[in-house]
Amino acid sequence: MNHLTIHEIETISQIKGERDKKNLDNISRTDAYFSYFKRNPDIIWSFLASMVSRNGGWNMCDLEGPAFREIIEPRTRKDLFITFERANWLIFHDVYPQLLVYQYSTRIKRPMFHLLPFFKCSEFIQKEWERYWREGNRERLTTALIINEQNVIHAPVFQHPIYKKRVFHSWIFNVQDWLHFSCVLFPTCGGELYGTSVNGFKSLSKRINLGKRLARILTHPRLFPFFFEFADKTPHTGSRYDYEQYFKTKTNRKTPILRATYPIFDHNHYEYQDWSKNRLISPAWLYFSAKHRHPIHLTDWYFEKSNQLDLILALHRAAHVKKI
């Protein structure tokens, strides 16, 4: 750090402290992304990250809801929770300093992206921030951030031998993948749900494509104000009741809230490697626009999936009774 000014060294330290303070759990991350977006509305990715992080919280709490507690054994539920939590922690650890460096740059009206290497950000994303500063192409920056974060978690989560064995090869992950229960939802205060379902989640390119499709839905000129209203008005608890409370058909809370369910999870730091030095950047990631193959209005789909889960639970109970 010899060539940095004292002020720059202090700024790096402050940013690391802010990152660690906000990276405690799914609730603090979700809130940090959304608060950042309200201060920096040109960084669409931050709003997208907050909405996807809400879904991560719902997925975590679903594991301790009545259905999955009966169907999935405790160890598998714990492994799934750790996988969600690890991926979300790694992304925030990587990206939040980038966001704060950009915010700092806008405040002093000059680019400070030479600080990014001190947070071990990839060369790819450093160049993309510099490009955004020059050109102001929001769509390209959103896509670049999606590409970067999915690559950041690919090796330490999706290719990690323990996660591969216990989670990604488990029957429940593959059934969930096949049934599209892993769906990213953008709710409204009018009780409508939009989004897209995920299958082939282990594929890096499919996850990037998913991120691009979600960004298109989120920024749809007609829908964006409704999504923003929901995020601004609805505190994130991790329970699906956060959006089910707005349904026209009244429903009771079925899944618990996150902070009453999970303790703060301590993460082991990992040996960081710059993914962009070892992996070619596919032109399709950056230049091909994402197309929706299925309808993005998912309210009816959601009720259908809820009914399917009830059916699976009933079959599970029936099979269990027969064994007894």
Structure tokens at 313: 């639970």
DSSP H helices in the chain: 6-22, 26-39, 44-62, 66-71, 74-108, 123-135, 138-153, 161-163, 171-179, 204-218, 224-233, 241-244, 275-278, 283-287, 299-323
At 174 the pLDDT is 66
At 15 the pLDDT is 98
Higher per-residue confidence, 272 vs 262: 262
> Rounded to whole angstroms, how far apart are CA atoms 301 and 295?
10
Q: What is the pLDDT of residues 173-209, one digit of tens each?
A: 666 655 555 689 999 999 999 999 777 778 899 999 9
Which of 78-84's residues contact partners 24+ apart within 8 Å by CB, and which partners? 79/163, 79/166, 79/167, 79/170, 80/167, 80/172, 80/173, 81/262, 82/265, 83/157, 83/163, 83/167, 84/26, 84/56, 84/59, 84/60
Provide mean pLDDT across the span 100-127: 97
The DSSP call for residue 319 is H
pLDDT > 60? residue 322: no
Query: Is the pTM of the predicted complex or chain greater than 0.85?
Result: yes
- Maximal C-alpha separation, the chain: 72
> Worst-scoring range by mean pLDDT, 21-30, 61-70, 194-203, 239-248?
194-203
State phi, psi for 140 to the nearest 5 degrees: -65, -45
pLDDT > 90? residue 258: yes
The DSSP call for residue 186 is E
The residue type of 180 is H
> Rounded to whole angstroms, how far apart are CA atoms 123 and 148?
10
Helix (H, G, I), strand (E, B) or coil at 194: strand
Q: End-to-end CA distance of the chain, in Å?
A: 67
| Closest by Cα among 151, 139, 185 to 299 | 185
At 318 the pLDDT is 78
At 320 the pLDDT is 64
Q: How many CB atoms lie within 10 A of CB 54?
A: 27
At 186 the pLDDT is 98
| Closest by Cα among 15, 25, 281, 288 to 148 | 281
User: Among the ranges 33-37, 262-266, 307-311, which has the highest mean pLDDT value?
Assistant: 33-37
At 175 the pLDDT is 64
Contacts of 185 (CB under 8 A, 6+ apart): 55, 58, 193, 194, 195, 243, 298, 302
The residue type of 246 is Y
At 66 the pLDDT is 84
Q: What is the pLDDT of residues 14-42, one digit of tens each?
A: 999 999 999 999 999 999 999 999 999 99
pLDDT > 90? residue 57: yes
Q: What is the mean pLDDT of the chain?
A: 90
Q: What is the pLDDT of residues 134-147, one digit of tens each?
A: 999 999 999 999 99
pLDDT > 60? residue 324: no
